[in-house]
Amino acid sequence: MNEKQQALLIESASRFPPPQGVKLSYGTSGFRADASILSSTVFRVGILAALRSIKTKSVIGLMITASHNQVSDNGIKIADPTGGMLTQDWEPFADAIANAIDPKDFIQLITEFVKKEDIPIGGVQSAEIYLGRDTRPSGEVLLEAAKQGISSVVGAVAIDMGILTTPQLHWMVRRKNMGMKVSESSYFEQLSNSFRCLVDLIPKEDTVTSKVDEKLIVDGSNGVGGEKLEELKKLVDGLIIEVRNTGKEGEGILNERVGADFVQKEKVAPLGFSSNDVGIRLVSYLHVHTHRQCVLRSLDGDADRLVYFHIPSICNMKIDLVDGDKILSLYSLFIMEQLRALSKKENSGMIADYSVKLGVVQTAYANGASTEYLKQLGLDIVFTPTGVKYLHEKAAEYDIGIYFEANGHGTILFSEHCISWLESRTNEVSSTSKGSEQHKAALRLLAISNLINQAVGDALSGLLLAEAILLHKGWSIKRWATLYQDLPSRQLKVKVADRTAVTTANAETVVVKPSGLQEAINSETAKFPLGRSFIRPSGTEDVIRIYAEASTQEAADTLAESVAEHAKCFLGLNKS
């Protein structure tokens, strides 16, 4: 690093002094905290993004958002060249520069890092960073801090993509680095065209009408997702979409008793929904007259999570939840059906010449009933530690990898080889095989690969895919919900002085330290039918998280409390 570059970094950093007494850690959600103390952190992440762009010779993304957090919070996270999250190898450097108090230490950290990574800065190199932000009031100030950080690296250029959902920015970064057209309109076009393709491939002989009179009522969390869904719905034929909690002035507060995170955790309807949303409607499609309860959907603050729910009773606003595990099961079932159709030899002679490796990735928090259902389908199920970065990395090992967390965050990944093979199945067909079930199955899978956001979980694309599958199968939400019955579960947390006192293995399902605790957990679990429990240290705070499930809610509660007591005992928390 030459003297000019060093002087520029020092001068720029002086305008963004770090907050005293605050230590931040870069995780799955990037850096996240009260917006009032984040300017220095965002400035420094701007520098990191520029370095990452130079290192990879690719466009990098910076998203300013705090997702489902309260409106006073904000955050910053990086989209890597693939559109995925920042490589874990760079997370320690992110932590180091964000928390460096002394300016000399700050510059020294950068100097040593660029030397170790062989990153040529201060010369003629170039870097390009896409910037996005959600609708939080603090976003504009933090956007300027990010721009200042980027511009403090010689040759780095910040491109403001405007107000976006987090998945939109990740999608744009991925597309740009694939050499493709990038704009918000191209995002909307790809989603709407792919959805239309899937709907057009519904067997015509079973269709009463091409237009379904089912209204989708969507909770937009008073965030950017509601705003963008209002735009997307204008392009989507065959669906009538009503967006509530759009975030318009005076309508409500971002993430305050609204959104996917609130609905999934509290299991009550969000604000903006009332007893008027309880009831039965008659929907007619696919030659089936189905009595459907009022079906509702909820996005989270930056539109990367999606859950479904309905309100079964006027007595209270408790809901029946269809969470990420059920979304995963719906996607998996439909994709398996298409792959099975591809493997069948028809009169045309067309037959699959390649065995697609399909895998499903879950964490230990997935409800045990969902895992058992997926196993019964014959799927390959693997587990990873909690965190999207682990799930995404594992899913990428398959030809088609599907992952979802119960909170509604997940996606489907298609390998390049798989997409090329599917394209060959649709392009190299004879006149006799065109229009066959095999041909249609390949077209459906290609449409799914275009509709789903392969960079990151995306509530908007996920919503359209779920709706297309439900239309294809002629299912109500009630039919969908009965794929399996969730096992009752309970989650607790125990506050500790040092969360590193507990270490785990086997995707966080087995306690390694303290010695003997896992045996105690096993002994408790064996007392309950269908019992399962694990503990894990939090990734963000000094607490130990306990999860338990069993055949009844009472048993799950008792198991969780017993395991919590064992954890306290082994950690010495019961000592007077």
- Cα 13 to its chain centre, rounded Å, is 33
Q: Is 458 annotated as a binding residue?
A: no
Q: Is 539 annotated as a binding residue?
A: yes
Question: DSSP alpha helices (H): ranges in 428-510?
Answer: 437-451, 459-473, 477-481
Look up residue 129 and give its amino acid.
Answer: I
Q: Is 247 annotated as a binding residue?
A: no
Q: From CA 229, how far away is CA 222, in angstroms rounded? A: 12
Q: Is 538 annotated as a binding residue?
A: yes
Quote the radius of gyration of the chain (alpha carbons, Å): 25
Supply 196's token pair: 């239309």
Q: From CA 480, how far away is CA 476, in angstroms rounded? A: 6
Q: Is 92 annotated as a binding residue?
A: no
554: Cβ–Cβ under 8 A, 6 or more apart, which residues?
Answer: none
Q: From CA 423, how far away is CA 442, in angstroms rounded? A: 8
Q: Is 537 annotated as a binding residue?
A: yes
Q: Is 406 annotated as a binding residue?
A: yes
User: How many residues in the chain?
Assistant: 576
Angle, helix 91-99 to helix 39-56, in steps of 10 degrees: 140
Q: From CA 312, how far away is CA 373, in angstroms rounded? A: 25
Q: Is 405 annotated as a binding residue?
A: yes
Q: What angle do CA 396, 401, 402 make, to 5 degrees?
A: 125
Q: Is 545 annotated as a binding residue?
A: yes
Write the Ramachandran bin of 388: left for phi over 0, alpha for psi from -120 to 50, otherwise beta: alpha
Q: Is 32 annotated as a binding residue?
A: no
Supply 95's token pair: 């932590």
Q: Is 200 annotated as a binding residue?
A: no
- Helix, strand, coil percent content, the chain, rounded in steps of 5: 40, 20, 40
Q: Is 385 annotated as a binding residue?
A: no
Asked whether the beta carbons of 335 and 257 are under 8 A apart, the reply is: no
Q: Which residues are catalytic?
A: 67
Asked whether the beta carbons of 459 and 167 are under 8 A apart, the reply is: yes
Supply 193's token pair: 């065209």
Q: Is 540 annotated as a binding residue?
A: yes
Please spell the DSSP secondary structure of 294-309, one letter per residue. PEEEEE-TTS--EEEE
Could you tell me which residues are annotated as the binding site for Mg(2+)? Answer: 67, 300, 302, 304
Could you tell me which residues are annotated as the binding site for substrate? Answer: 405-407, 536-540, 545
Could you tell me which residues are annotated as the binding site? Answer: 67, 300, 302, 304, 405-407, 536-540, 545
